[in-house]
């Protein structure tokens, strides 16, 4: 799929199932043909009825019934195909979008809210599939309505001319409506993204919201977002209603003209009564024809918007992916070196309107702000040593770990692992070399054992138990009724913050990589658990390269080297005792922590 990245669309997936898709289309065409058969048979029955040919009228009514029965069979087959293959195609799209989401780099996620991804990966494809199915049904109905309009037009050329003029005027009107609808529909999608994102955050942070009484404030934010969505939605629908009703008024006027004209033609014996009855009975096909034509345009607009939004995830201009080299190297020593590394954090916004507030044809990404974090940063971490980075908030500690693990891409300079530029390493080589324990790790809605097996799928029970012991959570697990088979809930909701961190640490320890990065990983632990984790990390000394970003300085007393960061620069380094003696800021931070 990577080869066709720029050509991906919803129709790419339909081509994979073209036989079934074609069968679905043909079945619906046959259903439409049955509608035409029903209409013609009924029309003939009415004609014979007006001429008192009762047996022929009954025959044609029975023929109409036969067509109706056949149509039901076609509709049943159509529903079965749709129910089965729409799910298949939707699953394929969702899976590819999920895979693409895995490829996006951490900076991309930082620059977009969660609703952006949920809407594009889950909701937009579903809307597009449903719209395409609706279009097939609508087109078949348009065909049957068109055939009937031609039949009515053949009964009298004047009525036919009125129908033709009405159709042309309505088509022009629909083209204009579609253009306006496209603009407003995008705004509705955008506001819906914000609602999805906020809802996701509220669900994930339920305890924090209650603990600091944020319900009222977040209710206000929710109301603001819903008001924005409501405003965009109402605006879109009011405009649509204006167009729809004015178009329908035109159709109704044309219908009245046809009826009045029909009466006059019957009076003057220019058409027979049977023809007038047929025109009267089926003039509603004009309404159906225009209505379905307008709906097709609306659905096509919706598909176009969904298609643009869905496959924008593959556009490097807006959603940047991780880039890896092709060098397969086993990083066994775990030596890390930064050479003249520069990195600037950039914040972007997508511009979709010009200065006058009008939508532009091609949105672009605009740099809103930038913050230089590092410039010409140099240091070297020897293999199998334990190194810590400390400093005040905003000094760049966590960013360092993101650069080491290539979550972030350096702007300049090199990050070397065992002397190899990190940009040259394959994804496999890089990911198998590094484990990262975040400050707020995500625990999956699985059992404890399943969470650990994510890190090493063939881990034995002994290895799992040892990892839990080393992470100082084994005793807690033993108190649970189901032990390691206890389900933890979404994001480990059944665990405390400290317990979640210890599960995450056990997960990292189980991988047994040559480099282990700890990002404030003991910040949520009590003093006893912190000491246990510290002992666990100490046990790894000499076995792996340990890099710790620490808030609590007491956790890094035994580090081989401590780097003190200030405004993106390493201003001092040494052992704990050395820094305590010579660096007043370091000493003050430690004393403040232990008051």
264 domain-assigned: yes
Question: Comparing 148 with 91, which gets the higher pLDDT?
Answer: 91
Question: Are 302 and 445 in the same domain?
Answer: no
541 domain-assigned: yes
Question: Are 463 and 555 in the same domain?
Answer: yes
330 domain-assigned: no
Q: What is the pLDDT of residues 32-59, one digit of tens each?
A: 888 888 877 887 887 788 778 889 989 9
Which one, of 498, 501, 495, lies nearest residue 479 by Cα? Answer: 495
Q: Per residue, what are the HEC states of 144-184?
A: HHHHHHHHHHHHCHHHHHHHHHHHHHHHHHHHHHHHHHHHH
Backbone angles phi, psi at 53, to 5 degrees: -95, 80
SS3 288: helix
Q: What is the pLDDT of residues 494-507, one digit of tens each?
A: 887 778 888 888 88
Q: What is the pLDDT of residues 330-377, one digit of tens each?
A: 988 899 999 999 999 888 777 767 666 666 767 777 778 888 999 999
Give the integer Cα–Cα distance in Å for 561 and 577.
10
Domain end (from 271, 295, 314): 314
Contact 358, 530 (CB under 8 A): no
pLDDT band with cut points at 50, 70 and 90 for residue 3: very low
pLDDT for residue 139 is more than 60: yes
Question: Are 282 and 387 in the same domain?
Answer: no
176 domain-assigned: yes
The reported pLDDT for the residue numbered 1 is 37
Q: What is the pLDDT of residues 395-452, one digit of tens each?
A: 888 889 989 999 889 999 999 999 999 999 998 999 889 988 887 788 888 899 998 9
Give the integer Cα–Cα distance in Å for 389 and 549.
5
SS3 460: coil
pLDDT for residue 234 is more than 70: yes
Q: Which of 46-50, 463-467, 528-532 has the highest mean pLDDT?
A: 463-467
Burial letters 527-564, b for 16+ CB under 10 A, else e: eebbebbbebbeebeeebbbbbbbbbbebbeebbbbbb
- Region 196-209 average pLDDT: 67
CATH code of the domain containing 518? 3.40.50.300
Percent of the chain having pLDDT more than 70? 90
SS3 437: strand
Q: What stretches of 268-368 show up as alpha helix (H) in DSSP?
A: 273-282, 284-311
What's the chain's average pLDDT?
83
**Domain assignment of residue 169, given as a range:** 2-314
pLDDT for residue 595 is more than 60: no
Question: Are 129 and 249 in the same domain?
Answer: yes
Question: How many domains does the chain fold into?
Answer: 2
The reported pLDDT for the residue numbered 521 is 62
Question: Are 480 and 397 in the same domain?
Answer: yes
The reported pLDDT for the residue numbered 398 is 85
Beta-carbon contacts of residue 297 (< 8 Å; ≥ 6 apart):
174, 175, 177, 178
């Amino acid at each position: 799929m990577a080869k066709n990245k720029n050509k991906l669309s919803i129709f790419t997936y339909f081509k994979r199932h073209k036989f079934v898709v074609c069968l679905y289309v043909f079945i619906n065409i046959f259903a439409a043909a049955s509608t035409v058969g029903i209409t013609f048979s009924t029309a003939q029955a009415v004609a014979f009825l007006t001429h008192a040919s009762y047996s022929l009228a009954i025959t044609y009514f029975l023929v109409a019934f036969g067509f109706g029965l056949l149509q039901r069979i076609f509709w049943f087959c159509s529903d079965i195909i749709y129910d089965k293959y729409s799910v298949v195609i939707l699953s394929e799209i969702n899976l590819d979008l999920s895979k693409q989401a895995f490829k996006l780099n951490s900076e991309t996620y930082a620059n977009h809210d969660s609703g952006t991804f949920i809407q594009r990966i889950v909701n937009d494809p579903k809307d597009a599939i449903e719209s395409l199915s609706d279009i097939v049904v609508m087109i078949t109905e348009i065909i049957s309505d068109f055939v009937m309009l031609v039949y009515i037009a053949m009964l009298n050329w004047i009525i036919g001319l009125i129908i033709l003029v009405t159709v042309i005027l309505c088509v022009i009107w629909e083209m204009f409506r579609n253009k306006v609808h496209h603009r407003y529909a995008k705004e509705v999608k955008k506001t819906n993204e914000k609602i999805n994102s906020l809802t996701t955050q509220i669900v994930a942070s339920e305890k924090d919201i209650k603990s600091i009484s944020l319900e009222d404030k977040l209710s206000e934010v929710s109301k603001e977002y819903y008001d924005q969505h409501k405003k965009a939605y109402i605006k879109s629908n009011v405009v649509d209603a204006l167009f729809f009703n004015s178009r329908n008024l035109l159709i109704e006027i044309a219908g009245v003209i046809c009826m009045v004209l029909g009466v006059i033609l019957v009076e003057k014996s220019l058409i027979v009564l049977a023809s007038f009855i047929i025109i009267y009975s089926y003039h509603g096909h004009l309404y159906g024809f225009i209505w379905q034509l307008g709906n097709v345009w609306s659905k096509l607009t919706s598909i176009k918007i969904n298609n643009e939004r869905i496959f924008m995830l593959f556009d490097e201009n807006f959603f940047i992916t991780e880039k890896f080299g092709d060098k397969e190297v086993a990083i066994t020593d775990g030596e890390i070196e930064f050479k003249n590394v520069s990195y600037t954090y950039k914040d972007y916004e997508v511009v979709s309107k010009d200065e006058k507030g009008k939508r532009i044809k091609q949105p672009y990404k605009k740099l809103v702000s930038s913050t230089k974090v590092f410039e010409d940063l140099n240091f070297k971490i020897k293999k199998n040593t334990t190194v810590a980075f400390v400093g005040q908030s905003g000094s760049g500690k966590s960013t360092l770990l993101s650069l080491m693990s290539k979550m972030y891409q350096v702007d300049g300079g090199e990050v070397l692992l065992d002397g190899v530029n990190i940009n040259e390493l394959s994804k496999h080589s890089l990911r198998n070399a590094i484990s990262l324990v975040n400050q707020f790790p995500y625990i999956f809605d699985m059992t404890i054992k399943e969470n650990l097996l994510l890190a090493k799928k063939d881990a034995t029970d002994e290895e799992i138990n040892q990892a839990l012991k080393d992470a100082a959570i084994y005793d807690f697990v033993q108190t649970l009724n189901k032990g390691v088979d206890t389900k933890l809930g979404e994001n480990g909701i059944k665990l405390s913050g400290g317990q979640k961190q210890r599960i995450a640490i056990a997960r990292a320890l189980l991988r047994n990589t040559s480099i282990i990065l700890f990002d404030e990983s003991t910040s949520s632990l009590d003093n006893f658990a912190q000491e246990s984790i510290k002992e666990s990390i100490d046990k790894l000394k000499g076995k792996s390269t340990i890099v710790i970003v620490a808030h609590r300085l007491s956790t890094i007393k035994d580090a081989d080297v401590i780097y003190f960061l200030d405004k993106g620069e390493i201003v001092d380094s040494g052992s704990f005792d050395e820094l305590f003696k010579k660096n007043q800021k370091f000493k003050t931070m430690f004393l403040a922590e232990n008051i």
